[in-house]
Amino acid sequence: MVRSAEDALRRALGVALAALVACTVACDKKDPEPSGPAAPSPQTPGPSPLVLAPGVRMIKPEGGDAADIVKRQVAREKADGRTTLVYVGATWCEPCQRFHEAAKKGELDAEFPKLSIIEFDADHDRDRIAAAGYASEYIPLFVKPGPDGRGSKARFSGSVKGPYAIPDLTKKLKALLADESS
The predicted-structure confidence for 121-143, as pLDDT tens digits, reads as follows: 999 999 999 999 999 999 999 99
As a whole number of angstroms, the distance between CA 116 and CA 137 comes to: 23
Q: Tell me, yes or no, if the pTM score tops 0.75.
A: no
CA distances (Å), origin 83, targets 9, 45, 79, 117, 166: 63, 24, 10, 8, 20
Q: Are 143 and 134 in contact (CB under 8 A)?
A: yes
- Please identify, in words, the CATH class of the domain defined by 53-178: alpha beta
pLDDT tens figures, 31-68: 344 443 443 333 333 333 344 568 999 999 999 999 99
* pLDDT at residue 180, as a whole number: 78
Of the candidates 104, 90, 72, the residue with the CA atom closest to the CA atom of residue 141: 90
